[in-house]
Structure 1
Amino acid sequence: MKNRSGIIKIVAAVTGAVSLLCMAVLLVNYLCNEHFISEYKKGQYVDSTVNAVLGFTQPHIYHYNLGDVYYSQGDYEGAEQEFRKALEKKPGGESDCKTRVNLALSIVKQIDPEGVTKENLDEVIDILEGAKDILIENDCAHRDDEDGHYEDAQTLKDEIDAFEEQLRKQTEEQDQKGDQDPNDQKDQGSDDENEEDTQEPQSSDKESEIRKQLDAIQGDSLEQRNQEMDAYETYKNEHDYYGGRTW
């Protein structure tokens, strides 16, 4: 009986020690991320010591935070790389969708609205399709309806859909104009010359509309979409993890 009682005490002591260790890790994660976000809001983006701790204990938060830093500094390529790394760490639930929205925004932000031309329309659409695929993965957004389980992801995906449609319409109009019979063009003669002054402003208006739509999508910054992974949520997610959650 004494031996059994001793074993029970040892097991209880070990269990208690493990629980305390887990709570200590939770507390460190909470305090580090809270400090990082506090400094981030002040415009003091880089705190290597604090974020290094997160890199050791929760690498997806580490890369997520770095992505926010690069995005805020206008380095959208760097932000894209960090958000991709965050996804590789397989964050779960809402954190996964938040990271996907930020990643998609970072990709779209790299498109220059002034640089959208007839020659690179297909390339721009391919980039936008890639951003949509990121949002659709894991059903954060849905491809064909409004059933995505994360509202911001679905909204951004729908905005990109509308923008792509505008680009495709312009491409079709340009193709139709390019396929016009040369004889028809010759017969039109003076009519084309008379219409030239009106067609050029129309073309300019369409390009302006495309740039305006892209600017609108790009204007949805991380802060505007409330994608900040705050300290409370970090603590909550970590608590779920130590309760046996599979990421």
Structure 2
Amino acid sequence: MKNRSGIIKIVAAVTGAVSLLCMAVLLVNYLCNEHFISEYKKGQYVDSTVNAVLGFTQPHIYHYNLGDVYYSQGDYEGAEQEFRKALEKKPGGESDCKTRVNLALSIVKQIDPEGVTKENLDEVIDILEGAKDILIENDCAHRDDDDGHYEDAQTLKDEIDAFEEQLRKQTEEQDQKGDQDPNDQKDQGSDDENEEDTQEPQSSDKESEIRKQLDAIQGDSLEQRNQEMDAYETYKNEHDYYGGRTW
């Protein structure tokens, strides 16, 4: 009986120690994120000590934090790299989809609306398709319907679809205009010149609309889709540190 009682005490002591250790890790995570958030709101984005602790205890949040920092500073390529690293750490549940949304936004943000032309359209479409693939993976968004399980990912995917379609329409119109017979254009004389005067503003308006669509996707998207880092939610939900909101 004494041996059995001793074993029970040892098991209880070990269980208690493990529980305390887990609570200590969560507390450290909470305090580190709280400090990071405080500094972030002051515009002081990088804290090597805090990031080092988070990198050890929660590596996906460490890279997620850095991705958000780079995005806030306008370094979208750096943000893309960090969000990709965060995904490599395989965050679970909603954190996975949030990371995918931010990664897709970082990719789209690197597209220059002024630089989209007929010559580089295919390249731009490939970039947009890659961003959509990221959103579709793990069913955060669906390709052929609106039933993705994360609303932000589905909405962003649909926005990219609409933007691609607008780009294709613009290119088709450019091709049709380019294929017109030059002799027919000359025969039209002054009437053709008058028509061109009316068509040029229309073409300019369409290009402006395309740029507006891309700007709408880019905009302040990360700030809109991820309102603020919430330290309490991190502690309460164990590793889900952003309080996202729908748009």
The separation in 2 between residues aligned to 1:82 and 1:67, in whole angstroms, is 5
Kept after mapping to 1: 8 A contact 2:230/2:241: no
Go from structure 1 to structure 2 and tell me whether the alpha carbon gap of 1:101 and 1:115 turns closer, same or farther (over 3 Å shift): same
Kept after mapping to 2: 8 A contact 1:98/1:227: no
Quote the residue 1:126 is aligned against. Answer: 126
The separation in 2 between residues aligned to 1:42 and 1:2, in whole angstroms, is 60
Aligned residues: 247
Kept after mapping to 2: 8 A contact 1:104/1:135: yes
- Could you report, residue by residue, the CA deviation over 1:48-79 in whole angstroms, capped at 9, with x for unpaired residues? 10111000000000000000100010101000
* Offset, 1:236: 3.5
* Offset, 1:27: 0.7
- Could you report, residue by residue, the CA deviation over 1:65-112 in whole angstroms, capped at 9, with x for unpaired residues? 000100010101000100000000000111111111111111111111
Moved over 6 A (4+): 239-247
- Could you report, residue by residue, the CA deviation over 1:2-56 in whole angstroms, capped at 9, with x for unpaired residues? 1121111111111111111111001101111111112111211011101110000
Kept after mapping to 1: 8 A contact 2:60/2:91: yes
The separation in 2 between residues aligned to 1:237 and 1:81, in whole angstroms, is 26
The separation in 1 between residues aligned to 2:151 and 2:207, in whole angstroms, is 30
The separation in 2 between residues aligned to 1:201 and 1:161, in whole angstroms, is 26
* Offset, 1:153: 1.1
SS in 2 for 1:222: helix
Taking structure 1 as the reference length, the TM-score comes to 0.91
The separation in 2 between residues aligned to 1:112 and 1:106, in whole angstroms, is 12
Kept after mapping to 1: 8 A contact 2:228/2:242: no
Taking structure 2 as the reference length, the TM-score comes to 0.91
The separation in 2 between residues aligned to 1:2 and 1:243, in whole angstroms, is 52
Kept after mapping to 2: 8 A contact 1:104/1:134: yes
The separation in 2 between residues aligned to 1:193 and 1:87, in whole angstroms, is 55
The separation in 1 between residues aligned to 2:83 and 2:160, in whole angstroms, is 19
What stretches of structure 2 of length at least 5 have no aligned partner? none
The separation in 2 between residues aligned to 1:168 and 1:37, in whole angstroms, is 42
* Offset, 1:225: 1.2
Moved more, 143-152 or 90-99: 143-152
Seq. identity, %: 100
The separation in 2 between residues aligned to 1:48 and 1:67, in whole angstroms, is 14
Kept after mapping to 1: 8 A contact 2:107/2:131: yes
Kept after mapping to 2: 8 A contact 1:70/1:78: yes
* Offset, 1:242: 19
1:1-247 mapped onto 2 (5 Å cutoff): 1-226=1-226, 228-238=228-238
Go from structure 1 to structure 2 and tell me whether the alpha carbon gap of 1:144 and 1:243 turns closer, same or farther (over 3 Å shift): closer
The separation in 2 between residues aligned to 1:219 and 1:244, in whole angstroms, is 17
- Could you report, residue by residue, the CA deviation over 1:174-221 in whole angstroms, capped at 9, with x for unpaired residues? 122233345544544554333222222222111111111111111143
Go from structure 1 to structure 2 and tell me whether the alpha carbon gap of 1:124 and 1:47 turns closer, same or farther (over 3 Å shift): same
The separation in 1 between residues aligned to 2:31 and 2:143, in whole angstroms, is 38
Go from structure 1 to structure 2 and tell me whether the alpha carbon gap of 1:49 and 1:14 turns closer, same or farther (over 3 Å shift): same
Kept after mapping to 2: 8 A contact 1:222/1:228: no
SS in 1 for 2:56: helix
Go from structure 1 to structure 2 and tell me whether the alpha carbon gap of 1:207 and 1:159 turns closer, same or farther (over 3 Å shift): same
Go from structure 1 to structure 2 and tell me whether the alpha carbon gap of 1:15 and 1:171 turns closer, same or farther (over 3 Å shift): same
Q: Which has the higher contact order (CA 8 A, sep 6+)?
A: 1
SS in 2 for 1:51: helix
RMSD of equivalent CA atoms: 4.2
The separation in 2 between residues aligned to 1:172 and 1:232, in whole angstroms, is 52
